[in-house]
Amino acid sequence: LGTFNVILGHANVGKTYWVLWYFLALAIKHNIRFLIFSSENTVGGLKRNLMQLLAQKKLEEFTEHDYWKFKTQIEGWFKFIDTDHLYSYKDLLKTFEDNLNDFDCCLIDPYNSLVRATGMSGNQHEIDYQVASEFRIFCRLNNKTLYVNAHASTEALRKTYHKDHDLSGYPIPPNASDIEGGGKWVNRADDFIVIHRLTQHPQNWMNTEIHVKKVKESETGGTPTFMDEPVKFRLWGGCKFLCNNEQGEEVDVLSGNPQEELSNKTLEDARDDQVPF
């Protein structure tokens, strides 16, 4: 706790959905509580996604008992800021400070949805530096962790794999410096993560890549991922993420159990499942 972390990715790659799943894993394993501001999603939609990820089945499959059970569990770990009006970064910091006893980590999703705070002067570069600095100070003073979701710049959207690559023509993962506002964010952040997904690839569309670009405190075991060697998660059935363990088995990350039943399900079956992003 006490760190300022930035998450970068192109639009529509499922940043929010993967981050919610990651937060849920932290809640289950470490009983960490979260305060979420996600301006591009409804509170009801966020709760539904979390409930489905926790239950690992679709809402339409819930019994009434399931519904109230998983709703109660999610509401014990997650609080949400209403998105009925516009917020500046100062508004959100004030909200965080007023609710310090209710959460351990908080999320701003996305940064570019915030309006300029009243009384701020200077260009956007100077404002971003001040905002990032205040985010860091808030985390240090209150021993809370803040995650900020951000989009890549327009130029980064035009970058594709070269013509001789297996993924020729598909967008490459953005670099840390491709974030809107530039390299100041990776300079200020404690940890910096890039989320990438090839949404138009006929086979890999369900695979989410996690590129860890920066880990400030590596003594506790964290480390950046190697170039072109991201951690890969495969969305299965719209309600769980799978990842290879050290033995090379594809496992359900939340339970740690190998997915033997996957051999009985084809890619076409998976594609028919509703993907939530």
What pLDDT was estimated at residue 161?
85
CATH class of this structure's domain 4-230: alpha beta
Sign of CA dihedral 27, 30, 33, 39: negative
Secondary structure (DSSP) of 20-67: HHHHHHHHHHH---EEEEETTS-HHHHHHHHHHHHHTS-GGG--HHHH
Task: Give the distance, in angstroms, between the CA of residue 94 and the centroid of all CA atoms in the same chain.
Answer: 23
Compute and round to an integer the Cα radius of gyration of the chain: 19
What pLDDT was estimated at residue 86?
93
Distance CA(60)–CA(33), nearest Å, equals 27
209 Cβ contact partners less than 8 Å away, ≥ 6 residues apart = 173, 194, 195, 196, 197, 230, 231, 232
Which of 123, 100, 102, 128 is closest to 184 using CA atoms?
128
Tokens 């598909």 correspond to: 170
Cβ pair 174, 166 in contact under 8 A:
no
DSSP state of 179: B
- Identify any residues that bridge with 105 across adjacent strands, giving them in sequence order: 34, 145
Cβ pair 53, 239 in contact under 8 A:
yes
What pLDDT was estimated at residue 274?
41
pLDDT in tens, the chain (277 residues): 899 999 999 998 999 999 999 999 999 999 999 999 999 999 999 999 999 999 999 999 999 999 999 999 999 999 999 988 899 999 999 999 999 999 999 999 999 999 998 888 788 888 999 999 999 999 999 999 999 999 998 888 788 888 888 888 888 999 999 999 888 899 999 999 999 999 889 988 999 999 999 998 877 778 999 988 999 999 998 899 999 877 778 888 887 666 544 434 433 444 344 444 3
